[in-house]
Amino acid sequence: MSLFNNEKSHGIHPPGNKITSNKKIERVPLPKQVILPLSQHIGAPSKAIVKKGDEVKVGQKIAEAGGFVSVPIHSTVSGKVTKVIEMVSSVTSNVGNAIVIEADGKDDWVKIDKPSKPNKLSKKEILNRVKEAGIVGLGGATFPTHVKLQPPPDKKIDTIIINGCECEPFITSDHRLMLEHGEEILKGLEIMMKVLGCNEAYIGIESNKPDAIENMEKIVSESNISGEVIVELLPAQYPMGAEKTLLKRILGMEVPIGGLPMDVGVVVQNVGTLKAIYDAIYDGIPLVERVLTVSGAVKEPKNIISRFGTPASEIIDYCGGTNSNANVMIFGGPMMGIAQISFDTPTTKGTNSILIQKNNTEVEGNCIRCGTCVENCPMNLMPLMYVAYVKKNMYDELKDYWIDNCVECGSCAYGCPANIPLVQYIKVGKAELQKRRPK
Amino acid sequence: MAEETVDQKRLVVSTSPHIHDKKNTKKVMYVVCLALLLPIIGGVYFFGIYTLLVVLVSVITAITTEFLAKRLRKREFIMDGSAIVTGMLFALVLPPRIPLWAVIIGAAFCIAIVKEAFGGLGHNIFNPALAGRAFITVSFAGLMTSWIAPVKSVISLDSITSATPLGEGFSYAGSTSDLYIDLLFGNVGGCIGETSALFILIGGLLLLATGVIKWRIPVVYIGTVFLLAWLIPGQDPVFHILAGGLFLGAFFMATDYVTCPMTAKGQFIFAFGAGVLVILIRVYGSMPEGVAFSILLMNAFTPLIDRHVKPKPYGYIPPEKKSRFPLKKKAKTTDVADKPDQDSSTDKKEGKK
């Protein structure tokens, strides 16, 4: 421990609660109806190319990318477009359009364009296929993957970090993927390394998943890129899976404030995304489903694979329903997940977990300046200052404390003895600053 | 059953995180109370049952004053235990035979003026208990300098006037090692809770073990006093750290969350400054003891320290150096830098077409 700054210990150790880590991924029955929001990713919303009454098949493109930082959306069932509705986004809480498709239960796929020689595809073909498959970062941030694979020419990528940390409590979807689909993940990595032209990659896995580490190490050693890929054992500490903390832990360097990992020549990618890349390149299958963990106060916690747009209630019913006292449903993990307003909210590309629990928010007390938030902050910030300034409407001062550097991991609020919802204040502060920014 | 819960249940929405550490202000305060029981037991053992009365009166006055102050300020009174801590600490820094009316005045001052007038818990600049002691010292100097020797039996109300180890006129008959042992156990004159270094140390270790306080302030504070006393000719460093209120101050008062800096670096400055002040006051000042004033003075510096000692945020680039790659990478850098032109041109072609 350094005398002045115990950086190593920044972060927290919430109880893991990985109760589903031994449960095999199960496929839930096809939904009767799917609701597919046009904005399931970061960037411009997709543009619908189907209208009410159209017949669609599984994997058929129903919306085009709305710009460079955007991806197409595919139908996840076969059936008929019944309506286009306005709904509240499960991620940003903004109102946006969504396409509702009534399933016919036949599960007819569109004709799959499966490349005969996936190994021989050119960089351009790969990028195009990744984009057309609608692939986004499946760790939760949903950043379009094809953008990450095309860094600006002045940014040379030399290292890829594969994020298998899964530092959020409860979630085990990436863990199960590494156990059950390790080969596909590595093949996906191979494609990525080819596209980015780099020959150094790390797979970061937390020490609480020894079986996943063992499995990935075995697969790497048997592959033909074994010399270039290193499986890195990381301490089980939250937020190890945040890309900036992960990068620092593995490579010992920091991303400049306001920058992206590509500024230091690194791309960080989630294991689920690699599986999606594999599916798109080797099998020609677009992104229509994902693995997610259903955990917390449900009768039978499970890891399941489900089509996007499935209402959460159908997935919960498949897991035996909720316990009677549950009144909170979170998409994502307990640390950064978003509480949903209704059990009928459809899952989207970024939904890596459905967590049910009982509301446990407590009354906010006075800040006693204990410094726990400062101690916990992985970005070395002083979160309590944001609360003080936001309470006084002094938004410009927030910048003096580098509010934009905050990743909203929630470590500060988790440890706060006065139960202050720090993340809430930080989000308010950031939104206010965004409003004031000259357009 | 499942359908019913899914359709009819109203969901509660709140910001992340949705889980919380079990630590809360109340628990923190009660752990401190528990740790403070040890010096109180020490006080009762060495100075008799009357000291327990002092503690009780102080705590009850503190709680009552807080209740009344909240009423006056039209705020909700929450029993978070902070008034108990203040009451206990205030009693522990009083002479053993202080009259109860002075305890009441002091404890009321601690809460009403030092804490509530500044905005209540979390907003006070000075440690309430120490500021209360300073107030009583200034107002009733005679009361605050009448020390007694440890009594023979707990129920006794005897008082044999005696000097404190740091005070003038204190003379010790035995050898130095006997003096150290007496100081360690607390068998000397002094405030109710400050004499037994051992009891305070156990209480302090309890706080450290439960994570309520961090090691930095006590270690740096005591360490600075020890080092400086060792450097100044004619001073006995072991005597300086065991005598007086240094341990009580270092573990229970300098570590007060509200009035000490929040960052690790700031806490070092705070504790070091307090240590220097203790030695300056004890060796060169007119008062025999300087712990209370050293902490109060550093309390006054805390807002300044917090404003200027910020942790260096992740990815921070000092303004002078506008380097895009500020930090060293583990090993290789050269071989990459050699051939970026070629690769980037191919990237451009493929990306744009």
Chain A interface mutation, best of B3, B4, B6, B256, highest count of A Cβ atoms under 10 Å: B6
Nearest to B244 by CA among B49, B39, B93, B140: B93
Q: Which residues of B touch A156 (CB under 8 A)?
A: 336, 340, 343-344
pLDDT confidence of residue B350: 41
Share of chain B above pLDDT 90, in %: 53
Q: Which residues of B touch A382 (CB under 8 A)?
A: 262-263, 310-311
Kindly tell me if the per-residue pLDDT of A199 is higher than 80: yes
Nearest to A135 by CA among A58, A186, A72: A72
- Please check whether residue A424 is in contact with residue B15, taking contact to mean a CB–CB distance below 8 angstroms: yes
How far apart CA B165 and CA B162 sit, in angstroms, is 9
- pLDDT tens track for A135-160: 999 988 899 999 999 999 888 899 99
Model confidence at B105, pLDDT cuts 50, 70, 90, reads very high
Residue A325: C-alpha distances to residues A20, A322, B15 (Å) = 21, 8, 20
Number of compact structural domains in chain B: 1
- pLDDT tens track for B295-304: 999 999 999 9
Is residue B50 assigned to a domain? Answer: yes
Would the CB atoms of B351 and A3 count as touching at under 8 Å? no
Model confidence at B146, pLDDT cuts 50, 70, 90, reads confident
User: To the nearest 5 percent, what fractions of chain B are helix, strand and coil?
Assistant: 60, 0, 40
pLDDT confidence of residue B171: 66
CA B68 to mean position of chain CA atoms: 26
Q: Which residues of B touch A92 (CB under 8 A)?
A: none
Kindly tell me if the per-residue pLDDT of A23 is higher than 50: yes
Strands A25-27 and A79-88: unpaired
> Which residues are registered as beta bridge partners of A345?
none
Would the CB atoms of B347 and A265 count as touching at under 8 Å? no
pLDDT confidence of residue B189: 84
Kindly tell me if the per-residue pLDDT of A6 is higher than 70: no
User: What is the three-class DSSP state of A139?
Assistant: coil
Is residue B327 assigned to a domain? Answer: no
pLDDT confidence of residue A3: 44
Q: Which domain holds residue B284?
A: 25-308
The pLDDT mean for chain B works out to 84
Model confidence at B320, pLDDT cuts 50, 70, 90, reads low
- Please check whether residue A179 is in contact with residue A392, taking contact to mean a CB–CB distance below 8 angstroms: no
Q: Which of B9, B326, B328 sits opposite A256 (nearest CB)?
A: B326
Model confidence at B334, pLDDT cuts 50, 70, 90, reads very low
> What CA dihedral angle connects B66, B70, B71 and B75, to 10 degrees?
-160
Kindly tell me if the per-residue pLDDT of B160 is higher than 80: no
Is residue B333 assigned to a domain? Answer: no
Query: Interface pTM (ipTM) of the complex?
Result: 0.86
The structure tokens listed for A383 are 């979160």
Chain A interface mutation, best of B4, B18, B258, highest count of A Cβ atoms under 10 Å: B18
- Please check whether residue A28 is in contact with residue A315, taking contact to mean a CB–CB distance below 8 angstroms: yes
pLDDT confidence of residue B319: 73
Nearest-CA distance from A332 to chain B in Å? 10
Would the CB atoms of A338 and B328 count as touching at under 8 Å? no
- pLDDT tens track for A228-250: 999 999 999 999 999 999 999 99
- What average pLDDT does the segment A105-116 reach? 88
Q: Which domains does chain A have, with CATH numbers?
A: 1-25+107-360 (3.40.50.11540), 363-436 (1.10.1060.10)
Strands A61-64 and A73-74: antiparallel
pLDDT confidence of residue A325: 84
Model confidence at A205, pLDDT cuts 50, 70, 90, reads very high
pLDDT confidence of residue B327: 57
CATH of the domain at B225: 1.10.3430
Share of chain A above pLDDT 70, in %: 98
- pLDDT tens track for B216-243: 999 999 999 999 999 998 888 898 988 8
Kindly tell me if the per-residue pLDDT of A4 is higher than 50: no
Is residue B299 assigned to a domain? Answer: yes
The pLDDT mean for chain A works out to 91
- What average pLDDT does the segment A298-308 reach? 95
With CA atoms as reference, the chain A residue closest to B350 would be: A124
With CA atoms as reference, the chain A residue closest to B338 would be: A156
pLDDT confidence of residue B323: 53
Model confidence at A310, pLDDT cuts 50, 70, 90, reads very high
pLDDT confidence of residue B194: 85
pLDDT confidence of residue B333: 44
pLDDT confidence of residue A155: 87
Q: Read off the pTM.
A: 0.87
Is residue B336 assigned to a domain? Answer: no
